[in-house]
Structure 1
Amino acid sequence: MENIKTSVELKEAIKLLELEHTYKGQLLKEQLLLVHESLKPANLIKSVISDVTSSPYLVDNLLGATVGLASGYLTRVVTVGSTGNAFKKLLGTILQFGVTNVVAQHTDTIKSIGQFIYQHFLKGENRNT
């Protein structure tokens, strides 16, 4: 700011500062309303859902974890069945965790193998018929 030398300049400077204060106060109120609106539970849920659905990495990770859990469970059901043997149940649980971890960590490799098998073997059979 410039040096104020007269009372008229002082009054003008005060008016300018008051206008600036009013403007910044209005901006602050609008920002506060936006923050209040965004922190409502419904808007938080919408935001999380849109973030989850728009993130390809998260969707891939979630899909990989789901496939891993399902394949681990199926492995346990197939190996253990409805046996009452405690050792077999323990072995089935360990096998389930192992299969779940391997499948969840290597989803891209498993997907590539599946695509290879489909393209070279299954798709080839459809062309011959």
Structure 2
Amino acid sequence: MKKPNETATLKEAIALLKLKQAEDLLQLKDQYYYTYESLKPVNLIKNAFGQMATTSEFKGNILSNVIGITTGYLTKKVLLGSTHNPIKRILGTLLQFVITNVVTKHSEKVKENELQNS
């Protein structure tokens, strides 16, 4: 049996390490590109909204807020109309704020009552 040449074995090991190094460099470049893309502000915002929109609790909160804001705005318009008096405008805005908060906080109770009555 012939003894393996140490120089040939060393060259073969070096060639294998160079192949592994090239493969690792490609993986590192791919990971860099993926990380770079995911850290762009547009993608960060899109991912955040995508995750929030999938939760049912978030959807319920949005609906409650929209209902509250709409109710407050409509109440202000119905009671005060379009007035030029600054005091009435300030009071109308405060009224709108109070009604919006009350409706938003109690919209869950209204939904529960509707479900029970159905």
* Range class of TM-score, shorter chain: 0.5 to 0.7
Unaligned runs of 5+ in 1: 1-5, 124-129
Tell me the TM-score normalized by structure 2. Answer: 0.67
Does the aligned pair in 2 maintain the 1:68–1:104 contact within 8 Å?
yes
Measure, in 2, the Cα distance between the counterparts of 1:64 and 1:34: 37
Q: How many residues align?
A: 112
Structure 1 residues 48-59: aligned runs within 5 Å: 50-59=50-59
Measure, in 2, the Cα distance between the counterparts of 1:11 and 1:95: 84
Deviation of the 1:59 alpha carbon:
1.8
Deviation of the 1:73 alpha carbon:
0.5
Deviation of the 1:101 alpha carbon:
1.5
Unaligned runs of 5+ in 2: 1-5
Structure 1 residues 30-45: aligned runs within 5 Å: 30-35=30-35, 38=38, 44=43
CA root-mean-square deviation: 3.1
CA offsets, 1:3-61, max 9 Å, x none? xxx555543443333222111111122223434555678x7376456434323222222
Equivalent residue number for residue 23 of structure 1: 23
Tell me the TM-score normalized by structure 1. Answer: 0.62
Measure, in 1, the Cα distance between the counterparts of 2:78 and 2:26: 66
Measure, in 1, the Cα distance between the counterparts of 2:60 and 2:83: 35
Identity %: 38
